[in-house]
Amino acid sequence: MKTAILKTPLGLAEVRGDENGISEIKILEEEKEFTPNIPEVLLPAILQLNEYFEGKRKNFSLKLNPSGTSFQRKVWKALQEIPFGKTWSYQELSRQLGDVKAIRAVASANGKNPLWIVIPCHRVIGSDGSLTGYAGGLHRKKWLLEHENPPLQQSLF
């Protein structure tokens, strides 16, 4: 398993993967050494994440290999259907998966997403529009949602 540390506007991120795909992208709370020489297998992920933060990328095209149960993988696949700049509620996500009563299980799988940003769990909000739990912290969730959907400049005239 190869690892690289990436500097982002939200702190350091750790990217892990191998020839089978990217298995983990997570925000780090502790300081680690930035990776000057990126392993070749991780280059596409690093490039695409940088493009995302620069506002040049809305979708990712990476080979993914997250570890999880079949239900978790089903939820993570559905998360990838949420369009850039849009949000879904946990209820909408549950409905999309075919079981509106599975909100808690869906929320749990959402919280275990190992691929920060690439599988956009930050796009899931409460039914009332509130920002609900986010493993990376609500301040990061707010930043990501604003990055993807910046407020329109109001006309002064």
Residue with tokens 């509130």: 130
Which one from 79, 121, 125, 144 is the annotated catalytic residue? 121
List phi, psi (to 5°) of 122: -70, -15
Name residues whose C-beta falls within 8 Å of residue 148's C-beta, 6 or more positions apart in sequence.
Answer: 58, 84, 85, 123
Residue 127: exposure state from Cβ atoms within 10 A (0-12, 13-18, ≥19): exposed
Judge contact between 12 and 32, C-beta under 8 A: yes
DSSP of 1-50, one letter per residue? Answer: -EEEEEEETTEEEEEEEETTEEEEEEE-SS-----SS--GGGHHHHHHHH
Active site residue 124: no
Active site residues: 121
